[in-house]
C-alpha cells in the first residue's frame, strides 16, 4: 500500500493517491471528515483553523462508498487559496508579494533555500508546512478502516504539554475519550494546568510542544521481520512517526526508560494459559522487530512550534543582516493536531505492513487470510 501526497499550504488543494487498496473496503467518509476536523482542533490553535474547514473529496477509486481496487485519489481543498491566488497561482502570479527572506529558526527555510537554489523561502515553506498533514490524515483514516475490518484498532492521547506530564497508564478503551477534551488529555487536573500554561505562553509570544502516546490493539503476532532489518516493525512505525513535522523523538514501550534499569526489570516474562502471554508489556508489543500480540505502544515528542509571535533572532537570506524571524502562523500549541496526525501515519504504515503479508485483491480475501493466522 503506497501513499503519494502533493500540494502547498496556500495552494489550490492537498492531493493524495493511495495505491494497493483491495476492492470492497467500505469507506466511512463522515469519519474521515471527523478526523480532519480533529486535526484542526485543540486549545492553542491559530486563526487559520477558522478559515479552513477541511473535507475530503474523493476523485477516483471508489463507487458508492466502496473501493474498486484501483488507485484511490482524493483532494482536500484549501479554502484560503482565494486569498493567496495572486501570489500562489501556478498559471502565473506576482512572486514579489509575500516574499519571505528572514529565514525562521527551526523551519526548513534556510536549508531548503540552499538545497533547492531558491531566494524566497515561500518556495520551501509552502510544502514543508504541517498543512500537508491534512492529506496524510485523510489517507490514514482510510487505513484505519482497512485495519478495523481485521479487528485492529488505533487510538491515542496527549500525555504531556510543555513539561506537564501525565504518568498514569490508561486502558485502551478510555483513549477515545481524550478527543472530547480541549487538549486531548485524560487527566482533567493536569489539562487545566496545561491550558493555563498555554495562555501564559501566548501572552509572552512563546509556544509549546508535548508528548503523545499512540496505541494499537488487536494486531496478531508476526507482523514485521527479524530476518531483514528494513522490515522491522518498530523501525517502520518509528520512521512513520518521525516523518511528521515537529516530531523529534520516538520510543516504543518503555523506550528510553529501559536504559536506566536492569534486565530483570525490563524484559517481559512469558507464561501460557492456553495462549502465550507476557506478564508486562515493557517491550510495547514488539520484540525482534515483530508484533508479539500485545498492545503496541508508541510515544512521540513534539517540539514547540518554531514560529514565535515575538520572533527569534535570524538573518535575512539576501542581505545577510540581522533580523527577527517573520510570523507565518499564530498557533501557540498544535499538540492535538499532532496526535491525530500520528494516529493516521501509524495506521497507514501498519496497513502497508499488513497488506504486504496478507496480499488479497478484495477485502473478503484479506479478512479470511488474517483469520487463518495463528494467535500468539
How far is 289 from 56, CA to CA, in rounded Å? 34
Average of pLDDT values for 161-179?
A: 96
Residues 6+ apart with CB under 8 A from 252: 234, 237, 238, 283, 284, 285, 286, 296, 297, 298
Any idea what the CATH number is for the domain that residue 276 is in?
3.60.150.10
State the pLDDT at residue 47: 60
Cell 505562553, residue located: 201
- Residues 311-331 as b/e (b if ≥16 CB within 10 A, e otherwise) read beebeebeeeeebebeebbeb
How far is 317 from 299, CA to CA, in rounded Å? 36
Compute CA distances 38 → 122, 155, 319, 326, whole Å.
27, 13, 41, 27
How far is 256 from 258, CA to CA, in rounded Å? 5
Domain around 261: 2-372
Q: What is the pLDDT of residues 289-333, one digit of tens each?
A: 999 999 999 999 999 988 888 888 999 999 999 999 877 566 899
Per-residue pLDDT at 72 exceeds 60:
yes
State the pLDDT at residue 374: 84
**pLDDT mean across residues, the chain:** 95
DSSP alpha helices (H): ranges in 20-172? 29-39, 48-51, 81-88, 109-115, 122-128, 133-148
Q: Based on the structure, what is the number of domains in the chain?
A: 1
Residue 260 cell numbers, joined: 536506566
Amino acid at each position: 500500500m503506497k501513499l503519494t501526497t502533493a500540494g502547498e499550504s496556500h495552494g489550490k488543494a492537498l492531493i493524495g493517491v493511495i495505491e494497493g487498496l483491495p476492492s470492497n473496503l467500505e469507506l466511512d467518509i463522515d469519519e474521515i471528515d471527523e478526523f480532519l476536523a480533529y486535526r484542526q482542533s485543540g486549545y492553542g490553535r491559530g486563526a487559520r483553523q477558522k478559515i479552513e474547514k477541511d473535507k475530503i473529496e474523493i476523485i477516483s477509486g471508489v463507487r458508492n462508498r466502496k473501493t474498486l481496487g484501483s488507485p484511490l485519489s482524493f483532494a482536500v481543498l484549501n479554502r484560503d487559496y482565494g486569498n493567496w491566488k495572486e501570489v500562489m497561482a501556478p498559471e502565473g502570479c506576482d512572486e514579489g508579494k509575500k516574499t519571505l527572506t528572514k529565514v525562521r529558526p527551526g523551519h526548513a527555510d534556510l536549508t531548503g533555500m540552499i538545497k533547492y537554489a531558491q531566494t524566497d523561502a515561500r518556495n520551501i515553506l509552502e510544502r514543508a508546512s504541517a498543512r500537508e498533514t491534512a492529506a496524510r490524515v485523510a489517507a490514514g483514516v482510510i487505513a484505519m478502516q482497512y485495519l478495523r475490518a481485521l479487528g485492529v484498532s488505533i487510538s491515542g492521547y496527549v500525555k504531556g504539554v510543555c513539561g506537564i506530564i501525565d504518568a498514569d497508564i490508561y486502558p485502551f478503551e478510555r483513549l477515545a475519550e481524550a478527543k472530547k477534551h480541549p487538549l486531548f488529555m485524560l487527566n482533567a487536573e493536569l489539562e487545566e494546568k496545561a491550558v493555563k500554561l498555554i495562555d501564559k505562553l501566548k501572552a509572552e509570544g512563546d509556544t509549546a510542544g508535548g508528548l503523545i502516546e499512540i496505541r494499537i490493539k488487536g494486531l496478531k503476532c508476526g507482523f514485521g521481520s527479524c530476518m531483514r532489518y528494513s522490515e522491522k516493525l518498530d523501525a517502520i512505525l518509528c520512521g512513520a512517526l518521525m516523518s511528521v513535522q515537529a516530531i523529534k523523538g520516538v520510543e516504543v514501550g518503555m523506550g528510553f526508560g529501559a536504559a536506566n534499569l536492569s534486565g530483570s526489570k525490563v524484559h517481559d516474562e512469558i507464561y501460557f494459559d492456553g495462549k502465550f502471554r507476557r506478564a508486562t508489556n515493557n517491550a510495547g508489543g514488539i520484540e525482534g522487530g515483530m508484533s508479539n500480540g500485545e498492545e503496541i505502544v508508541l510515544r512521540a515528542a513534539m517540539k514547540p512550534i518554531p514560529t514565535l509571535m515575538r520572533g527569534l533572532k535570524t538573518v535575512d537570506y539576501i542581505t545577510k543582516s540581522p533580523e527577527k524571524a517573520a510570523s507565518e502562523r499564530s498557533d501557540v500549541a498544535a499538540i492535538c493536531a499532532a496526535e491525530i496526525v500520528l494516529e493516521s501515519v501509524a495506521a497507514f504504515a501498519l496497513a502497508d505492513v499488513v497488506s504486504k503479508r496478507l496480499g488479497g485483491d478484495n477485502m473478503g480475501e484479506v479478512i479470511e487470510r488474517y483469520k487463518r493466522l495463528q494467535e500468539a
